[in-house]
Amino acid sequence: MKIGIIGAGHIGSTLARHFTKAGHELAISNSRGPETLAELVADLGERARAMTVDEAARFGDLVVVAIPFKDYRDVPPDAVAGKVVIDAMNYYPQRDGNFPELDSDETTSSELLARHLDGAFVVKAFNTICWDKLRDGARQAAEEGHIGIPISGDDEAAKQEVDDLLAEIGFDGVDAGPLGEGGRKHQPGTPVYGADLSSAELAERIAT
């Protein structure tokens, strides 16, 4: 699969390592330009390349967004139309500024992204796990103790695609429900945020 990653911070670059190791072709981007990613791409190997945000979005059959939430409108809607988009972002008012509709719980950050990316299939995932656990916590299929990753979205096929990708890189997807209702269960401040639970423990906590 071709995967585009928008955002080369801890989460984006760690996912890039997992995806290239799993054999996927990858394009990674940041806000500062491809030339600033030369060292990372060299480390990732021949399956990876640095691109602009727009190019990475167009390159990927699936696209990961892992940038500060305040910049979510930088993702080009036409470049991801019809694609699965993994939302790994979190809303932090102290960093992102205040979004009244989020502060009032009128909607969620993922729903705002989905509204911006009309025509894409947004799935929220990878937003609860600490980056070092994402780096070090992968378990191969035969091993026990897989860390659960909550996923939420409104399209079942898109969620299944993300679940399959999670399994491929050594984690267990746990369905939290639709993008709005489910996303609220694994946003910052919830019992599962940063908890890095087993899939069974995570499923139990999401169900309560």
Residue 122, classed as helix, strand or coil, is strand
Strand order of the β-sheet with 25-29 is 48-50, 25-29, 2-6, 62-65, 84-87, 121-124, 148-153, 172-177
d(CA 163, CA 75): 23
d(CA 70, CA 93): 9
d(CA 203, CA 124): 16
Looking from the CA of 171 toward its CB, the CA atoms found within 13 Å total: 29
Which token pair is 199?
């899939």
d(CA 190, CA 192): 5
Which token pair is 132?
């070092």
Owning domain of residue 7: 2-207
What CATH number did the domain enclosing 169 receive? 3.40.50.720
pLDDT reported for residue 191: 94
pLDDT reported for residue 142: 62
Strands (E) located in the chain: 2-6, 25-29, 48-50, 62-65, 84-87, 121-124, 148-153, 172-177
Residues of the chain with pLDDT under 50: none
Contact 180, 108 (CB under 8 A): yes
Longest pairwise C-alpha distance within the chain: 47
Q: What is the pTM of this model?
A: 0.96
Which token pair is 157?
């096929």
Q: DSSP letter at 146?
A: P
Q: How many folded domains does the chain comprise?
A: 1
Strands (E) located in 46-142: 48-50, 62-65, 84-87, 121-124
Percentage of the chain beyond pLDDT 70 is: 99
Contact 127, 187 (CB under 8 A): yes
